[in-house]
Structure 1
Amino acid sequence: MNQTNDIAERINELENVRALRELVDNFSILADKKDVWKQTELFTKDATVDSYVNGELTSSLKGTQEIGTAFEAYLSNFEIVYHINGQHVVSINGNQAQGTLYCRVDLINSVNESIS
């Protein structure tokens, strides 16, 4: 492989890593805005979202309609949703990517209580 191809491949990989980062950031921003149906456009129509707690599968959502309905119901419990994305490490091999992103999510709701 010549140096020109090597540079082109490296640039392509950097662009793909950046695109993945933007995807995660856009997902978070749309969640913060509670724009769930715009958020589902980031998924393929046959996407699956699996949620795990302590290593155990707690839910499996299939398709954008099911994902959107579940996200909307969950986010309706909160007045404010705020994501802070942090470290982002990804490796790309062909059309597969694997990585880790740290994200802090604050879910805020107020409770109206009367004091007697």
Structure 2
Amino acid sequence: MTLEILKTREELRNLIDAYASLGDEKKIAEQMELFTLDVTYKAYMGDFLAGDTTGRKKLENEFNSHASQVKTYFTMNGQHTVEIDGDTATGTSFSQIKMIREGEGKDIMTDYSVKYDDKYVFQNGKWLIKDRIGYFIIVETRPFL
């Protein structure tokens, strides 16, 4: 493994970690800078396609709408594997996402176990997410005490 590949792997890992951190902080405009302008983003809840968005501006609107309904996000990233091919790469990462929302006057926590399949591109000196598919594999909702 070359030093260049190790550097690229680290940059891609930093990209997915930045995505999680900025999302947790509800810094949606900054988070959008991690995507290409023509990004595609799909979200599956089990086998159901729950979201299918194309374009950074539309994605930003959707993320802002979602974030307005959430009191707190907390994300932990796990494994991240990548295959690099010059200025493009593919990757798979796993995350645990917790969200606190208010429902019927009570705080409700939803815990998501997510697998992301990504396509990355190197543009203007940095790696960006071009395509992302989120598979929300386990979803658990419960009162938050």
TM-score (norm 2): 0.66
Deviation at 1:110? 4.0
Whether 2:44 is the aligned partner of 1:52: answer yes
From the CA coordinates, give the structure whose radius of gyration is larger: 1
- Partner Cα separation in structure 2 for residue 103 and residue 90 of structure 1: 15
| Residue-pair matches, total | 105
Match of 2:96 in 1: 104
Whether 2:5 is the aligned partner of 1:13: answer yes
Cα RMSD for the two superposed structures: 1.7
More strand by share: 2
Runs of 5+ in structure 1 lacking a partner?
1-8
- Partner Cα separation in structure 2 for residue 81 and residue 30 of structure 1: 10
Deviation at 1:50? 1.4
Comparing 101-110 with 21-30, greater Cα deviation is found at 101-110
Distance change in 2, residues 1:44/1:12 (3 Å):
same
1 or 2 for the larger relative contact order (CA 8 Å, sep ≥6)?
Answer: 2
Runs of 5+ in structure 2 lacking a partner?
107-145
Equivalent of residue 29 in structure 2, options 31, 37, 50:
37
Counterpart residue type for residue 17 of structure 2: D
Comparing 97-106 with 30-39, greater Cα deviation is found at 97-106
Distance change in 2, residues 1:55/1:93 (3 Å):
farther
- Partner Cα separation in structure 1 for residue 44 and residue 81 of structure 2: 21
Match of 1:4 in 2: none
TM-score (norm 1): 0.81
